[in-house]
Structure 1
Amino acid sequence: NLSWTAVTFFNSSAGTDSAFLAQLDANGSRLKYATYLESNSGLLAINGQKTVAYVPLNWIDGPALATVNFQTEPAPLFLSGSGNALSYVGAIVSPGELLSLFGVGIGPAAGVSAAVQDGMIGTTLGGVQVFFDEIAAPVLYASSSQINVQAPFEIAGRQKVQVKVQYAGGQTNGLNLAVFDAVPANFTTNGDPYGPAVVLNQDGSLNTMDNPAARGSVVIIFLIGGGVTTPSGRTGQVTPLAPLLHLSAPVTASVGPKAATVTFAGAAPELISGVNQINVRIPDEAQAGSAMPLAIAVGQMQLVLKLAIR
């Protein structure tokens, strides 16, 4: 006795020979499931395992078998896009970068945040796993519509990767991302990618127009997407205080038209390895002002922040 009550098989409105297979509820008033079928010139077969199989008769290279199992009502599981966790720049990724993935049904309804265990972020959270090709990635946050994840450092050297999410026995479609050496993005005070940058003065206080940095002092900027480090960072690890891990990509800085000295560029100690710290010494001859441009280049990519200088 089948668990579904109706199968509807009809031509699509496109006027082609494609078709749809649909399952309706007991009274025929609600669509429970539907799937696209490539051709309506075929056979429907029902077996004892409550499965409907469709075999087109007009194949060219051989039969194409589409099977739909109605034992349970399938839950939607769809990955719609990704972006840098701070700037939301999508379609590209760098090794170690923190990413946000977006979709439908890709995790638990109530969001879950990861906890650090033995200095590491795990690759399973709330039943969610994320794969970059064959590599499982650390999951920092998981919900039904958003997952925050760290791209593995191990993707370095690849031209592209495919990202998939596994959850509740299902797997999403794959997202193809181009791999860049660096995709830097800075933290902001309000979480808006275009908001005021988080820049710390040498004493650790927040740089603002009311709390400017002195010329000749060092300011600290935190980024993500800086790429691989030397020595190599470990994916998902909280970066230790020693040894210091330096970004492999060249990092330069300028304040207005004046070149500035980068005193450190690498993984931020005591934060997850995907967070980078850039220390920049403000030139003695830099112009004072409440919103002076601070440009930081990581490899081929550049950020321009605003800096208050006295």
Structure 2
Amino acid sequence: MRLLTICLVPIAAALLLPQLPAQAAVPNVAAIVNAASYASNGVAPGETVTVFGSMMGPDSFVSGQVGADGALSTELAGVRVWFDESPAPLVYVESSFLAAIVPGSTSGKSASTVQVEYLGNRSLPMVLPIMPSSPGIFTADSSGQGPAIALNQDGSLNSASNPAQAGSTIALWATGDGQTDPAQASGLSVGVQIGGVDSAASYAKTQGLLQINAQIPVGVVSGDAVPVQVQVGQAKSQRNVSVAVAAGTGAAGREWFVSPSGQGTAAGTESDPLDLATALAGAAGRIHPGDKIWLRGGTYRPPNPNGFNSTLAGTTGSPIVIRNYQSERATLDGKGSEITLSVNGGYVWFWGLEIMDSNTTRTTNQTGGVHPNAYGVGVYAPGVRFINNVVHDTAQGFSAYDASSDSVFYGNLSYYNGFVAPDRNHGHGFYMQNIAGTKLLQDNIVGDNADEGFQIYGSGGANVVGFRVFGNASYNSSSWPTPHYQYNFLVAGGALRKDIFFNQNYSFFDPAADAGLVDFGQYTPGQDITVTNSVFAGGYTGPDVSMQAGPVVFAGNKIYVHSSAVQQARLELGPGQNTNGWTWDTNQYFGKNLFFTGTTDGNTAQGVNLDFGGWKSATGFDKNSSFSGAPPSGAWIYVRRNEYESKRANVIIYNWNLSDSVAVDLSTVLTSGDSYVIQDAQNFYAPPVAAGTYSGSPVSIPMKNLAKAAPVGFTAPAHTGPLFGTFVVLAKRSGAQ
């Protein structure tokens, strides 16, 4: 791989520098990502990053220069990359892409302002969140997925034709471990999992690069593509990276089969399946960590009013996986139950399931949250993951509180959850709290829930700590039985509220409705929060940042509210709070030229409305931001590749020109010859809105005349198209219609 070669090039062997032009245009930076994984949720000190753009350097490729001290030069062919005026070591440069190492001077910061300089001209600033660690594993084809660059114990390249033996040691290369310059005496812990099993590992650092020596665990499953993942501190590397392990050298966990007609005394085989309640209870001690439970298609109903209760317990290295079999539609229907699924055992993964309530009674004459239908999912144990599930028409989609530390909610759809009471609508897509470790909410599509989309909220005795909220879409919260829009995202309250990263999320309300909210902080004082690279469209006001002591990072966001909305953005400081150490910049505002700044006691705000110039002057914010009174134009398209299933992705489209269809580049998801379908996330179980064989060209996704599923017991609210769309790209299975 080029990067590994370049990092080792001595100065005597460096390429000759090209003749530089007398003048250069202003560099344009499009994206800054982890050089190994292409992740863009923030960077860590010492991480090698790839910068994509244009006019950032010479037309020909130039590799880095290593000085006598062994360090890479910070200036190369007229190019420099600045992190808060600290120059970054450069690995290579070229006009449209370059690689640099995040300077150690970023350690301890919450954000850094980055600019690329070429021949004295600097790009517009880009603000990046600074993470304690952000690991990525280098892969053989440089895609960030597939076989890792790995050497077997004998020094040969690991591959399907040359697998490693169980018990032997392989070498991996990664970046983003959060190293500092000078190095700290004690860094973050480094761990490796191979095939879901913890591996004995050692590591060594060089500039921008981490070599990890990991032992293939005895007993790990064998195969050509055994998953491998690196963890540094609390952060894990990308998924869908693998190494090859020789057949016969490991042992896989047992596979179990479950069906709606299964029996508790069954063998648990495909021909003699268990029932679901028995499997979730461990099948009388027969199901163990590392096992996989396949759910056949059909409808599963709880055996009692308490709903399904999972007491299965895996381990951090050997979770138990419960998954639908070969994409069959396995439905848990909680009708008549208190809750559809309770999870009371840790380290269990639920994958590809439909969780719902078919009860058509969605109204109650009682106030106070008495629910007529079953709750969806309640998580009361650590290390649980919900992956690519569909939860709908329950009293509340996902609930997970302090006991469910280090849980992951990834790629799920959550819609039409909630119920109607005399006081108000109740029930959210997600209701989350946390105190220890982290909770990851990533790439979920959430819409049309009765009350709120994402409620990351705690009362005075609860906690909102350690949330990672990445790549989610939330639209039209509280749209039925009549639109009464509430919060798409609420991060607020709690006795303790801190360590929150909110990046690349997408909010939508119909801008003409002038209703709906997004709030970061409310009711009680919070500490640090980072809100970056997100889109907030529509609403009563734009985003409201309230009661945050900081440091706060609010940067790289796009915000549009209708000209008749109340305000474009709101800032409300609590008693004794100030904006020292905050970073609020590089945002794009559209629509309403009115910004609010003031104070609040947690309930009542006092302050002034200012135009954009007055806002910048009063706050010191948005030096490099822009405002336009016109609405946005064109199309904003976001393709989010799924980390758990290959050839799957979420697509979020803001179609400002109201085009009949939008052309979407799916080259990061599909390869030529792949058969695919595209499902409308607002009508997921209907026939696909597009299908075909991928040719490598952009794929047309329709945006008009889209049908929408209806909530159980009610008529469907309006589809968000053609202005906004949420879609899921899937590989078409052989034989599927």
**TM-score of Structure 1 vs Structure 2, range by shorter chain:** 0.5 to 0.7
Q: Report how far residue 249 of structure 1 moved.
A: 1.5
The code of the aligned residue for 2:171 comes to I
Aligned in 2, Cα 1:292/1:105: closer, same or farther, shift over 3 Å?
closer
- 2:183 maps to which residue? 232
- Whole-Å separation in 1 of the counterparts to 2:84 and 2:195: 42
Secondary structure at the counterpart of residue 212 of structure 2: strand
Aligned equivalents of 1:218, 1:102: Cα separation in 2:
35
Q: What is the match of residue 282 of structure 1?
A: 216
Alignment partner of 1:294 is 2:228: yes
> 1 CA distance for matches of 2:71 and 2:105?
16
The one of 136, 143, 159 equivalent to 1:208 is 159
Question: Secondary structure of 1:253's match?
Answer: strand
> Which range moves more in the overlay, 89-98 or 104-113?
104-113
Amino acid at match of 1:267: K
What's 2:242 paired with?
A: 306
Question: Residue 134 of structure 2 contacts residue 235 of structure 2 at CA under 8 Å; is this kept in 1?
Answer: yes
The amino acid that maps onto 2:87 is A
Structure 2 vs 1, CA of residues 174 and 248 (structure 1 numbering), >3 Å: closer, same or farther? Answer: same
* Aligned residue in 2 for 1:102: 52
Indicate the SS of the match to 2:200: strand
Alignment of 1:120-269 (within 5 A): 120-228=71-179, 232=183, 248-262=187-201, 264-268=202-206
Q: Secondary structure at the match of 1:308?
A: strand
Structure 2 residue aligned with 1:58? none
Pair 1:283–1:176, CA change in 2 (3 A): same
Q: Which of the two has greater strand per residue?
A: 1
Which residue identity lines up with residue 248 of structure 1 in the other structure? G
Q: How many Å separate the matches in 2 of 1:283 and 1:291?
A: 15
Pair 100,74 (structure 1): closer, same or farther in 2 beyond 3 Å: closer
Shift of 1:135: 0.7
Q: How far, CA to CA, are the matches of 2:136 and 2:186 in structure 1?
A: 15
TM-aligned CA distance change 1:216 to 1:148, over 3 Å: same
**1:92 alignment partner AA:** G
List runs of 5+ in structure 1 lacking aligned partners: 1-72, 234-245
For 2:105, what is the secondary structure of its paired residue? helix
Q: Give the number of equivalent residue pairs.
A: 222
Q: Indicate how the Cα distance of structure 1 residues 287 and 147 shifts in structure 2: closer, same or farther if over 3 A, else same.
A: closer
Please say if 1:114 is aligned against 2:69: no
What are the superposed Cα offsets for residues 69-128 of structure 1, whole Å, 9 maximum, x if unpaired? Answer: xxxx98343222211112222251110111112233222233322222212211111111
Instruction: Tell me how far apart the structure 2 counterparts of residues 100 and 178 of structure 1 sit (CA, whole Å).
Output: 15
**CA distance in 1: counterparts of 2:54 and 2:180, whole angstroms:** 34
Q: CA deviation at 1:201?
A: 0.9
Q: Residues of 2 paired with 1:267 and 1:169: CA distance? A: 33
* Separation of aligned partners in 2, 1:293 and 1:307: 7
Residue 176 of structure 1, CA deviation: 0.2
After superposition, give the CA deviation of every residue in 1:122-177 in whole Å (9 maximum; x if it has no partner): 11111111110021111222222222111112211100000012222322111100
> What SS class does the counterpart of residue 154 from structure 1 fall into?
helix
Cα offset for 1:284?
2.3
**Is the Cα contact below 8 Å between 1:184 and 1:301 reproduced in 2?**
yes
Provide structure 2 residue ranges, at least 5 long, that are not aligned to the other structure: 1-22, 247-737
1:265 maps to a residue whose letter is Y
* Structure 1: distance between partners of 2:113 and 2:137: 25
Q: Is the 8 A contact 2:24 2:119 kept in 1?
A: no
Mapped contact 2:105–2:181 kept (Cα < 8 A): no
Note if contact 2:50-2:97 (Cα within 8 Å) is conserved in structure 1: yes
Q: Is 1:189–1:195's contact at 8 Å kept on the other side of the alignment?
A: yes
Change (3 A) 1:230 1:123: closer
Q: Is the 8 A contact 1:82 1:91 kept in 2?
A: no
Secondary structure in structure 2 of the residue aligned to 1:190: coil
Cα distance change of structure 1 residues 227 and 247 upon mapping to structure 2, 3 Å threshold = farther
Distance between the aligned counterparts of 1:250 and 1:100, measured in 2? 25
The answer to whether the 8 Å contact 2:24/2:121 transfers is no
State the TM-score, normalized to the length of structure 2.
0.29
Return closer, same or farther for 1:298/1:247 CA change in 2, 3 Å cut-off. Answer: farther
Greater CA deviation, 211-220 or 251-260?
Answer: 251-260
Counterpart amino acid of 1:266? A
CA gap 1:213/1:162 in 2 versus in 1, 3 angstroms: same
Distance 1:215 1:231, change over 3 A: farther
How far the C-alpha of 1:215 sits from its partner, in A, is 1.6
Instruction: Report the CA distance between 1:257 and its aligned residue.
Output: 4.5
Letter of the 2:48 counterpart = L
SS in 1 for 2:80: strand
Partner of 1:67: none
1:83 alignment partner, one of 26, 33, 51: 33
Greater RCO (CA < 8 Å, at least 6 residues apart): 1
Q: CA distance change for structure 1 residues 78 and 307 in 2, over 3 Å: closer, same or farther?
A: closer
SS at 1:90's partner residue?
coil
Distance verdict in 2 for CA 1:292–1:102, change over 3 Å: closer
CA deviation map 1:215-270 (0-9, x unaligned):
2111111101111169718xxxxxxxxxxxx98211222333433211x12315xx
Shift of 1:203: 0.9
For residues 145 and 306 of structure 1, do their structure 2 counterparts lie closer, same or farther at Cα, with a shift above 3 Å needed?
Answer: closer
